[in-house]
Structure 1
């Protein structure tokens, strides 16, 4: 493995985009467009659907914590490839069962796999980009999340035309993920560049601003994930048509592809905290639109604003943590990840039970929008 040489940075950025597409855009979020059919055919309640989503996010949180240790040093590429293989196998496995307990286990393990891919592909790709002086290509890497969502939308629309089932959707997700594994194996032909050993970090600073950002990040995790999990189910309740469901998810993915690149330009003008607050406000508008405007406009606007913001807010939040704790960036990011992960786990559970109680996703969406507004307020205040 050629650890000491610098590879083509564009090739690594494209490889990172592909890995993010299959591990995050498909591995984590293909559940959203397949969920309505699963709920209809298996008679899953909204609360059960929320539990399945939460199991995936719990696995992601645990996987992120485990992957952040130093146990894989020197084996980052192999670990990432095995995680991509597990991601593909677990996606396909979802199409072979109809038991809730098995769904929970598979999605939990898939969450661990997607976290491993995220951590190790970033370690490899970002290291090569930094040495090559091409950090601007990180936006291409993050575009993979939107690309994967868009591919999942096209796949579900194709299945609808062909008369396929949700089982076929999961099997198709497994095949797409396997193709991504092959591409990553070819394009990422080496591990991270060797560098200086990482020293012990100092303790976290006593910073009210950092505490507020951690809280805002956790609230964002709770608020965004409700719509990200149930937006296609919301369309199904509104009788928009099966193909329209895929169109809404396609709009979400297409909006996410350029989002990090575009919001980086806003950060230059407004700064990190104001941009974080602005994106949360826009996402809150989209959440309310998805249930409030009705017809076709509401879900399309909701999907567009969700895609245009949630990946960027995730990245901006981590930049904020590093900037507020420059002597302890790993500790700050760990706390941010824990807060975000906790919000992601609680969001689908609360929304599912609330939807079962009220008979629709209106009340959960209002709670989600209010949470995003609170997150924006806290983040803005932290920058004052």
Structure 2
């Protein structure tokens, strides 16, 4: 058994069979469509929505918020929907709904029409985030789940990268054509993933004996939910203001700001697999703590430095970790709730809801603060760094208590 993970050498050599690969690639397609594209592809379309007089600047902000609100609704409704509809069927329907939303947004019939479809795309994203990994990972060998979850959430990074590259290329054809192109791409990815989703849940493993269950698991899970919520507060400032900070805050212009967003997107493609593989090797408690530390340092750098190269390095770190925290937190849940797929799904749903709620609150709160602080990028970034530092402190405290409780149980026996 390895000291870091407690897995046998034979288990460490376990690979992925064809069905597992297809399921993993379907998960990647799902996260790409419903989260990567549905959320991040909207950002580069905002100026064109205003310039083409489809909507006013205020309306565009409202429509952007519709996706966040829908995401929160999807995080809340994902598990109840999965209780009524088989996961395979539900995931297919959610991807179709996102594709339909892209196509519907090519026709700005009214503000209400657009709001409903942006809300629906957010709802699909939140529900897919809750369901995609928990539908797939039980079919993956335990020693390869970090890698597989990283591959699934590479889709988020691909969507971020596409928002800075493919979407501007589509915009050369026109605004309506860009929406239709996103819809066509989503339909293609839906078709590619159609038969890859697992048809049924795996046979449940016996639950762990009560005496072997980690008694601090409940407290550690509650701490993890709080940490993930704070993680959202730490990441939102960068998602909102990175391009504006480079373009106006550093006076480098909109084109250079767009290049930094591309850099952020490229880094986000590489991050999830690396983070998941690190969790497989050293355990997810340690890997997530490293991720929180690096995020806090990188966001703090944005608050105090205006050097383009330093800002670029911080952008790479944050870009890599933005989608990477998803497989890290998911893996940590699997460590705290081993072999219980139903409870893993419930815990992941709660974590995703906490993240979605504080992401939405943070988006509105930071926007208000930015507008009423003389547009201080440094202040908003500093608060993001503080939120991440608090998350790291909570994680250290929670794991310290867990080790202390474990030591007390050992001494008692």
For this structure pair, what is the TM-score category when the shorter chain's length is used for normalisation? 0.7 to 0.9
Name the structure 2 match of 1:285.
297
Q: Find 1:338's aligned residue among 345, 348, 353.
A: 353
Name the structure 2 match of 1:372.
388
Q: Measured at CA, do residues 229 and 105 of structure 1 come closer, stay the same or move farther in structure 2, by a change above 3 Å?
A: farther
TM-score where L is the length of structure 2: 0.76
Name the structure 1 match of 2:192.
183
Q: Find 1:329's aligned residue among 333, 344, 349.
A: 344
Name the structure 1 match of 2:405.
none
Deviations 1:321-346 (A, max 9, x none): 34334574344333322321211110
Name the structure 2 match of 1:3.
none
Write the distance in 1 (CA, Å) between the matches of 2:397 and 2:93. Answer: 43
Q: Find 1:254's aligned residue among 266, 274, 279.
A: 266
Deviations 1:262-318 (A, max 9, x none): 224543665433432321232233334446544643553343222211222222223
Distance apart, 1:79 and its partner CA: 2.1
Distance apart, 1:39 and its partner CA: 6.3
Distance apart, 1:215 and its partner CA: 1.4
Write the distance in 2 (CA, Å) between the matches of 1:349 and 1:242. Answer: 23
TM-score where L is the length of structure 1: 0.81
Single out whichever of 65-74 and 219-228 deviates more from structure 2. Answer: 65-74
Kept in 2: contact 1:214–1:335 (CA 8 A): yes
Q: Measured at CA, do residues 20 and 269 of structure 1 come closer, stay the same or move farther in structure 2, by a change above 3 Å?
A: closer
Write the distance in 2 (CA, Å) between the matches of 1:100 and 1:352. Answer: 22
Q: Find 2:93's aligned residue among 61, 82, 88.
A: 82
- Unaligned regions of 5+ residues in structure 2, if any? 1-16, 401-413
**Higher CA-based Rg:** 2
Single out whichever of 99-108 and 358-367 deviates more from structure 2. Answer: 99-108
Deviations 1:157-203 (A, max 9, x none): 4256x3855x5544433232222122222x5276235534999xx99
| Pair 1:310-2:349 in alignment | no
Deviations 1:94-129 (A, max 9, x none): 343396655543322111112333344434433443
Distance apart, 1:59 and its partner CA: 1.6
Deviations 1:134-159 (A, max 9, x none): 53433222212112221222123425
Distance apart, 1:219 and its partner CA: 0.8
Write the distance in 1 (CA, Å) between the matches of 2:170 and 2:306. Answer: 26
Q: Find 1:350's aligned residue among 359, 365, 372.
A: 365
| Pair 1:195-2:230 in alignment | no
Distance apart, 1:351 and its partner CA: 1.4
Q: Measured at CA, do residues 359 and 184 of structure 1 come closer, stay the same or move farther in structure 2, by a change above 3 Å?
A: farther
Write the distance in 2 (CA, Å) between the matches of 1:329 and 1:309. Answer: 23
Kept in 1: contact 2:148–2:276 (CA 8 A): no
Distance apart, 1:85 and its partner CA: 1.6
Write the distance in 1 (CA, Å) between the matches of 2:313 and 2:111. Answer: 32
